[in-house]
Structure 1
């Protein structure tokens, strides 16, 4: 009779985590951290969500939809997302000049994952608020 030691076997979640932190691809973990830092900040998240919902927006339209973001912070966020290939910036040499932003196919694939996270947050917001209140109450 053969016995298998299941205590030392990785669960599917552990396997996924191990793969993410693996150095086998030759690129290493630092790019993963950098990517997660970039897409995990609130301004990038909100920018991608707004572009995903609207399709194409001009700078001023995007800023109005996001709300309390400064012009400088939106500029920095858009440049970073463009650098990562997540958004497309199209410049129209008109008077006055017009610039439009939209998601690239890579950005759209990220949006799908972000929507899952946003739906999770929406589903569990009451539980999270309750937990925060209990934590503050001691």
Structure 2
């Protein structure tokens, strides 16, 4: 899973300075795939970020964004979303289960509930999906 790989690299950077010492940014692109199991809303970028947030489990100093350059992630009105070190804590406080939302393929509802959707409107370009993970210096 792409999110698990990104989480592993981000943790290695934060804990061991490998393959880069913080502060650093892990950048990747390309369209990921989703295995649909549920009936939720959202696209591949928000699904990636929800899985990444769960894998990072609130690790401090790591932030991420993912979005589609055409401004539309899946069939919703957002390009993607953002995660912060406190994403899971804020969700729990709001009564939103990250794992349940991921199992239902419902990342749009998860990020909309937190106010963390990235909405650009249609950009009329389609260069590809973009992911960036910021690892702060600890």
- Of structures 1 and 2, the larger Rg is shown by 1
Structure (1/2) with the larger helix percentage: 1
Normalising by the residue count of structure 2, what TM-score does the alignment of the two structures yield?
0.26
Normalising by the residue count of structure 1, what TM-score does the alignment of the two structures yield?
0.26
